[in-house]
Amino acid sequence: MFAEPSAKTADLLQRMRDFFDRYIYPNEARHHEEMAAFRRAGNPWQLSPLIEELKPIAREAGLWNMFLPHEHRGVPGISNLDYAPLCELMGRVSWSGQVFNCSAPDTGNMETIERYGTEAQKDEWLEPLLAGRIRSGFLMTEPAVASSDATNIQCSIVRDGDHYLINGRKWFSSGAGSPDCKIYIVMGKTDPDAPRHAQQSMVLVPRDTAGVKVVRHLSVFGYDDAPHGHMEVLLENVRVPVSNMLLGEGRGFEIAQGRLGPGRIHHCMRSIGAAERALEMMVDRLQARIAFGKPLAAQSVWHERIAESRCMIDQARLLTLNAAWKMDTVGNKEARAEIAMIKVVAPNMSCKVVDWAIQAHGAAGVSQDFWLAEAYAHQRTVRIVDGPDEVHRNAIAKLELAKRR
C-alpha cells in the first residue's frame, strides 16, 4: 500500500501476529481433530473447546471486538482502513475470528444493534454479544425466491396488537448452527403494498421463541462448517413484542445499506488473507516436490501462476484498502462503487489462487490433509452470498454508464 499502516494498526497487527504464532497456528490440527471427533460421534453442532479456551486469552490481551469503532465497546476511533489488515490476518485461519469476537455474522449484527437498536435492545442483546457469551444469526436469504433481488424476500411480519407475527422460511442462515447462537435478526415484509424499498423490516427474534425451528444444515461443497453452519430455519407463527423492531417498520433496506459496507471490507480482506496463505502453500509445495527430475517450482508454467497470483492479490488488497479509505473519508454512499468492486474482485481472485494451489498439491489438494479444498469451497460461496457477482457487476456498470449520460 502507498501509505504506511497507522500506528494503531501497526500495534494491533503485531500483537495479533504474535497471538497467531502462539495460539492459533499451533492449534489448527487440534481444532480440526476436535470437530472431526464430534462429527464421528454424531453431533458436530457443539462449541469448539479450543475456541472457548482461547477467547478469554484474546480478551485479556486486548484483542477483542476490534471491529467496533466505539469508545467503550471496541477500539476507540478505529477506522475501516485501520481494521482491514487485521481481517486479512484472520482470513488465514477460518475459525480465528471467533477467538477475537470478530466473526461474521456477529460483527454485522453487533454493528446493527449498536447503530440502530434501542437502549433496551442493546442491554439485552448487544452486551452479551460483545462479551462473547452468545452468538447471533442473520436471517435474510430464502429458498423459494432469487434473494439476489432483496425485494423478492417473502417472509411475512404482521403486526398483531403488541406483537409481530412472523412466518417464513430462511436458509443459509450462517452461524445459526452454533449452540450459543441465541438471537436472530430477521428480514421480512411488514407492508407488501408499500413502495418497493419500504416494504421490508428487520426484527429481533430470540432463538428460543416458540415457532422457531432449525430444520437442517446446508452443506457447502460437502462441508457442514460446524459448529458455525449454514442453517435452514423455519419461522411458523413466531410472535415477538413490537419493541423487537429495529429502527422502525419499513426501514429494513435502510439498515441493510448501513450495515453493508464494513462487512464487505471484512469479507474481502479475509479472502485476501486466504489467498496469501494459499500462495505460500503453493510455493512451499512446488519447492518440495520433484517430478521429471526437477522441482515443480522450476517449471515456467508455475512461474506464470505464482506471478499472476502475486499480481492479483496485491491488486485486490489495494482495491479493498482504497474502498476502506473511501468509506472512512467520504462515507458508504459515495464509496458504493468501490464497495461493489471489491465484492466481485476479492473472492474471484482468491478462488483462482486457491485453485492453483490445489493443482500444485495434486490429489492432496482436494483432501482433508490440506486446508485448500475447504478454502475453495468457502471462497466460491462468497461469490454468491451477499449478492452474486452478476448483481454487483450490474451495479458497477450502471454507475459507470450514469457518469457519461
Binding positions for a copy of itself, 82-141, rule CB under 8 A: 141
Q: Which is nearer to a copy of itself, 58 or 140 (CB)?
A: 140
Nearest to 201 by CA among 140, 250, 137, 138: 250
Query: Cβ closer to a copy of itself: 119 or 300?
Result: 300
Closest CA to 207 of 230, 240, 229: 240
**Of the candidate residues 224, 234, 247, 256, the single one contacting a copy of itself (CB under 8 A):** 224
311 touches a copy of itself (CB under 8 A):
yes
- Of the candidate spans 111-119, 199-207, 244-252, 321-329, the one that interacts with a copy of itself by CB under 8 A turns out to be 321-329
Shortest CB 266 distance to a copy of itself, Å: 17
Q: Give the range of 6-14, 160-168, 246-254, 318-326 binding a copy of itself by CB under 8 A.
A: 318-326
Q: State yes or no: residue 221 binds a copy of itself (CB under 8 A).
A: yes
Under a CB-based contact definition with an 8 Å cutoff, are residues 167 and 173 in contact?
no
Q: Figure out which of the listed residues 92, 259, 336, 383 binds a copy of itself, where binding follows CB under 8 A.
A: 383
Counting contacts by CB under 8 A, is residue 385 touching a copy of itself? yes
Q: Which of 82, 23, 90, 89 is nearest to 58 (CA)?
A: 23
Residue placing its CB nearer to a copy of itself in the complex, 23 or 223: 223
Q: Which of 85, 73, 76 is nearest to 20 (CA)?
A: 85
Q: What are phi and psi of 334, to 5 degrees?
A: -65, -25
Residue 240 backbone class (left: φ over 0; alpha: ψ -120 to 50; beta: rest):
beta
Instruction: Report the residue number, 204 or 274, with the smaller CB distance to a copy of itself.
Output: 274
Cβ 337 to a copy of itself shortest distance, Å: 7
Closest CA to 132 of 51, 77, 75, 186: 51
Q: Which of 165, 214, 218, 247 binds a copy of itself (CB under 8 A)?
A: 218
The verdict on 284 binding a copy of itself (CB under 8 A) reads yes
* CB burial readout 298-308, b (16+ within 10 A) else e: eeeebeebbee
Judging by beta carbons within 10 Å of its beta carbon (0-12, 13-18, 19+), is residue 330 exposed, middle or buried? exposed
Q: According to CB under 8 A, which residues from 332 to 351 bind a copy of itself?
A: 337-338, 341, 344-345
CA distance 99 to 180: 14
- According to CB under 8 A, which residues from 134 to 193 bind a copy of itself? 141, 143, 145-149, 152, 171-172
Cell numbers placing 290 = 520433484
Identified binder of a copy of itself from the candidate list 28, 34, 180, 389, rule CB under 8 A:
389
What is the torsion angle, in degrees rounded to the nearest 10, for the CA atoms of residue 380, residue 383, residue 388 and residue 390? -100
Amino acid in position 396: I
Among 16, 268, 306, 353, binds a copy of itself (CB under 8 A): 306
Asked if residues 102 and 66 have their Cβ atoms less than 8 Å apart, the reply is yes
CB of 293 to a copy of itself, least distance (A): 8
Binding mask 361-380 for a copy of itself (x = CB under 8 A): -xxxxxxxx---xx-xx--x
Nearest-10 crossing angle of helices 80-90, 300-330: 150
Stretch that binds a copy of itself, among 10-18, 101-109, 238-246, 386-394 (CB under 8 A): 386-394
